[in-house]
Amino acid sequence: MGHEDKKMYTTAQAAQELGISPNTVRGAIKRGRITVERLTPRLSLVPHDEIEKYRQLYLGKRVGARSRRQVMAAPPEEAS
């Protein structure tokens, strides 16, 4: 699969796909959590598979914790 066959996103587009801020995406890139393809010194694109990898590795934990809080906050069911 060549470069032109991959779905690529700007930092802002990747942030929108992930539901996080562009600054969070930039931080993930700096930390090596998201690998980008650098086109010029100021322009890099994020491959779709990197977005999915980040979503599974880093956002899945956050979503799980949020779900647990919602369950704990739900009112108890009445016994029949």
Note the pLDDT tens digit of each residue in 26-65.
999 999 999 999 999 999 999 999 999 999 999 876 544 4
Average pLDDT, rounded, for the chain: 82
Residue 71 predicted with pLDDT over 50: no
Sequence-separated (6 or more) residues with CB below 8 Å from residue 80? none
CA distance 6 to 15: 18
Greatest alpha-carbon span in the chain: 66
Sheet holding 37-40, edge to edge: 8-9, 43-47, 37-40
Mean pLDDT of 6-29: 96
Q: Please report the domains of the chain, with CATH numbers, ordered by start residue.
A: 3-73 (1.10.1660.10)
What pTM value is reported for the model? 0.68
